Amino acid sequence: MRPGMHTEIWRAVFVGLFCALFGFSLGYPFEVILIGLMVYMAWTFRTIDKLFHWIDKGMGGIPPDADGVWGEITDTLNRQRRRHRRGQEKMRRTINRITRLTEALDEGILVLRSDLMLDWWNSSATKLLGLRPADRLTAVTNLIRDPVFVSYITQKEFVGSIKLSSSDQVGATLQLSASYFGDDEIVLVITDITRLSNLEQLRKEFVGNVSHELRTPLTVMRGYLETLEDVAAKDPLLAKAFAQMSNQVSRMQGLSDDLIMISRLESDDHRPILERINLKPMLEEIVAEAKVLGDGTHTISLVCHQDPVIEADVKDIRSVFDNIIFNAVRHNPRGANIIVRATSYTGFINISVKDDGIGIDPNEIPRLTERFYRGDSSRNSETGGSGLGLAIVKHALARNHGQLIINSRLGQGAEFVCRLPLQNQESPAEYSL
């Protein structure tokens, strides 16, 4: 029992005994006890009234003077008040600091309620979206009406980000990403990527233009080399030089073709042309070409018991399997076994290319789909690859809602799995490598 309760109990007992003794001395014990209790209750109610009056004023100023249980209650409330004020001050400082940080950010930050009503935003969001104070508690879909954004913000789970053209700044490109926090509230982050977008567009145009411009001189060089091959054959030194030049021209033509393919895949003007594709004849043809490429030094087999049909872009899918199967031939030593297997599942199909060759370091796997990444140079010095093959594969699969899965260990072979939906969906608005 708390000390204040002990004091209050002893006070009540003392008042009762005093009134009883005084009442007996006067011959009116019950009347005196009743009067004593009434006085005690009046004092108690007065103390309670002072306490409530102090609480109603927000517990500011000096707390009422009291002892016993009421004094202990007053002291407890006073301590809680001081602790609460310290907590409020700390929270106020934290909020002010966070506010200053968000105001210093170049990214626009918006806080949306669960019903997508705009609750708060920083100054960068005001600049990027042209928001006004009156826009608070306005549905964000009424402020940003782009169908791509509406579809993105109304989904149950946010995956990745989207890019939109700014309606307030001509030529500006914005990147938007959202995530849940708290009680189903949404944080929307907006980044101005106009400069990066322009640089990326310049890069794409440069790559595409250079690749196309290289085609003509390379074709001319190859024509002259083929014309002069008979003359060069009479001289061993010339023959060797012409062979090296021919190989380098072929390599340059391959690189040019890959760059043109990357440029086509990245271009928004070239959306996937969806067709029904019977994969078995396509795989049979590619496997036959791979056997010729390997000159009979590899064992290549196709396991496809059904006739899987998918809905995708023919050029994209052809480039995917050309690169993966031909890579298995180029990057494995003589005698390697390569199995191309098609396995159908509900709603999708897996096309795996598995070999028992030298394998790949697991640390290199995340980087294999990067442009111009060729892995360990010691294993690629003789292949002459451009380093664009798997980048093309990943990008072509992304355009057709597919996925590339790579499993490998050094000395244990490698497996490349292409997962494709049997029926394609609407092409995604954004995809990247």
Decide: residue 133, CB within 10 A, 0-12 exposed, 13-18 middle, 19+ buried.
exposed
Residue 172 confidence (pLDDT): 81
Secondary structure of 163-203 as H, E, C letters: EEECCCCCCCEEEEEEEEECCCEEEEEEEECHHHHHHHHHH
CA distance 383 to 172: 43
Residue 167 confidence (pLDDT): 67
Domain coordinates of the chain in residue numbers? Answer: 3-99, 105-192, 202-266, 274-421
* Per-residue pLDDT tens digits for 285-302: 999 998 888 877 888 899
Radius of gyration (C-alpha) of the chain in whole angstroms: 40
Q: Could you confirm whether domain 274-421 is CATH 3.30.565.10?
A: yes
Q: Are 166 and 193 in contact (CB under 8 A)?
A: no
Residue 348: strand pairing partners: 345, 421
Of 238 and 150, the one with more pLDDT: 150
- 200 has a pLDDT exceeding 60: yes
**220 by DSSP, 3-state: which?**
helix
Q: Is the pTM of this model over 0.75?
A: no
First CA to last CA distance, the chain: 70
Pick the CATH number of 202-266 from 2.20.28, 1.10.287, 3.30.1690, 1.10.3470: 1.10.287
Q: Are 378 and 294 in contact (CB under 8 A)?
A: no
Q: What is the mean pLDDT of the chain?
A: 79
CA distance 245 to 228: 12
Of 196 and 338, the one with more pLDDT: 338
* Per-residue pLDDT tens digits for 319-374: 899 989 988 888 888 888 999 999 888 888 999 999 988 888 888 888 887 777 66
* Per-residue pLDDT tens digits for 9-59: 777 777 778 878 877 777 777 787 788 888 878 887 777 777 777 777 776
Kind and range of the H or E run holding 352: strand 348-355
Could you tell me which CATH number the domain at 105-192 has?
A: 3.30.450.20
